[in-house]
Amino acid sequence: MLYRSEGIILRTQDFGEADKITTIFTKSKGKISAVANGARRVRNRLLGPTQIFTYARFILLSGKNLDTISQAEIINSNQEMRDDLEKMAYGMYVSELVDVFNEEGVASTEIFYLILDTFALGNRGLFPLATRAFELRLMKFLGYQPRLENCLGCGIIPSERIWFSREGGVLCANCKQQFTPVIELSLGAWELMKRLLTSDFSRLSILRPSQQLLDEIEIAMRAYLDFRMERPLKSLPFLMSLCSPNGLTRRIEVNE
Ligand SMILES: [Zn+2]
């Protein structure tokens, strides 16, 4: 049966002599796998629309195991993400998180638009900020929103000093012992985290947080996401080699 959907290419894999298997996050069916026949041939009409990060309108033929891309028309190629190494690293990280946390065939227009918003903000040179907002919102849409308003242990609103547990929430001074390892957050990072989760995505570009605040949130979210995942991300070493000169892993260990 033929169906139409907009979609974003998350991943591609060579298949056969000239084909590709693509992983697409579609608007109507969520994550799907689809074959693009002949898409590695230079003159093939599917070559462009099946590049990683491309946002396109697809006509697909559903199959038993794999769907097949019948037609595709590019809406936004996101070419700049394939031309720039740092943008590519962020794009691959975002795509892999979507891939890892979503089962095939579970539609989520919230996640669909979140990916588009993240790529758009990232392409304006704000990938570190966009990616932190993406991580928090992805978890929210999947039902794993970290508890940021009040203490995970006792429910009070922490004041003065505050910690983050990889189990998904903030902690007060009294409760932090029960949740080791914990990561101390500055009040600024805590406020920013709440805004990244709740502000309108289009308004995030107005925020101009310091690198220090972004680093703190990166460390907290890294711990939380790793705690939620069964295996390490393949895209993370590449991203960290480009964008985490201070050695994120080492700093998490120190905090433990
Ligand atoms: Zn507490």
Chain-centre distance of CA 57, in angstroms?
A: 21
| Residue with the larger pLDDT of the pair 252 and 219 | 219
Structure pTM? Answer: 0.93
CA of 255 to the centre of ligand 1 (A): 19
- Pairing mode of beta strands 30-36, 67-76: parallel
84 DSSP assignment:
S
In angstroms, what CA-CA distances link 85 with 11, 12, 81, 237?
Answer: 16, 18, 8, 13
Q: Residue 250 has what pLDDT?
A: 39
Domains of the chain with CATH codes: 2-77 (2.40.50.140), 85-255 (1.20.1440.120)
pLDDT, tens digit (0-9, with 9 covering 90-100), for 157-185:
998 899 999 999 999 999 999 998 899 99
pLDDT in tens, 72-121: 999 999 999 999 999 999 999 999 999 999 999 999 999 999 999 999 99
Enumerate the H helices of the chain as residue ranges.
Answer: 79-83, 85-101, 109-121, 127-141, 187-198, 211-228, 236-243, 248-255
pLDDT confidence tier of residue 16, bands split at 50, 70 and 90: very high
Q: Which of 51-60, 162-171, 239-248 has the lowest mean pLDDT?
A: 239-248
Q: What is the Å distance from ligand 1's center to 172 Cα?
A: 4
The DSSP 8-state label assigned to residue 171 in this structure reads E
Instruction: Please tell me the distance between residue 152's alpha carbon and the centre of ligand 1 in angstroms.
Output: 6
Task: Kindly give the distance from the C-alpha atom of residue 149 to the centroid of ligand 1, in angstroms, as a whole number.
Answer: 12
**Residue 131 in tokens:** 């990616």
pLDDT confidence tier of residue 65, bands split at 50, 70 and 90:
confident
* 179 neighbors 153 (Cβ within 8 angstroms): yes
Please provide residue 235's backbone torsions phi and psi, each rounded to the nearest 5 degrees.
-80, -10
pLDDT band at residue 247 under the 50/70/90 scheme? very low
Distance 124 CA to ligand 1 centre (A): 39
Tokens 């505050």 map to which residue? Answer: 162
User: What's the gap in Å between 151 CA and the centre of ligand 1?
Assistant: 5
**How many angstroms does the Cα of residue 190 sit away from the middle of ligand 1?**
15
| 211 CA → ligand 1 middle, Å | 28
Average pLDDT over residues 67-72: 98
Joined together, the tokens standing for residue 10 give: 């998350």
Question: Ligand 1 centroid to 150 CA: how many Å?
Answer: 8
How many A from CA of 242 to the centre of ligand 1? Answer: 37
Which pLDDT score is estimated for 180? 84
Main-chain phi, psi angles of 35, to 5 degrees? -85, 140
